[in-house]
Amino acid sequence: MMAVMCLMTANAQKTVVSQSNQNVFDSVEQMPEFPGGMSALIDFLSSNIKYPEDAIKQNVGGRVMVMFVVETDGSITNVRVARAVFPSLDTEAIRVVKSMPNWKPGKEKGRVVRVNYTLPVVFSIKK
């Protein structure tokens, strides 16, 4: 039996990175949220991730750290692997993150802002 688990984390730093003439925050007063919250995100990932065959055959699992920007309109951009595990697992984590629906954007001082987000996607083979 295969299991795909997901945990969510948000970077806790106050660093601001300049990109596309708008700051991208690492931490804000109101962090972005997947529609329906964390349980809906876990359900989305669980039902959309396809465990790669080569990783199953080699009994490979682990936590792929995926970073992305939640834009002011809730769209997901700049998806990248922050910590790789195995090529096909990394590729699958990116594919699923790119397929997510728009999020509720983050807010700082009452205004909608761009926010960096880190999402660990855990691949685990359970027998």
pTM score: 0.81
Q: What is the pLDDT of residues 104-118, one digit of tens each?
A: 999 999 999 999 999
Q: What's the one-letter identity of residue 8?
A: M
How far apart, in whole angstroms, are the C-alpha atoms of residue 49 and residue 93?
A: 7
One of 3.30.465.10, 3.30.200.20, 3.90.1170.50, 3.30.2420.10 is the CATH number of 2-125, namely 3.30.2420.10
Q: What is the pLDDT of residues 35-74, one digit of tens each?
A: 999 999 999 999 999 999 999 999 999 999 999 999 999 9
Q: How do the domains of the chain map onto residue ranges?
A: 2-125
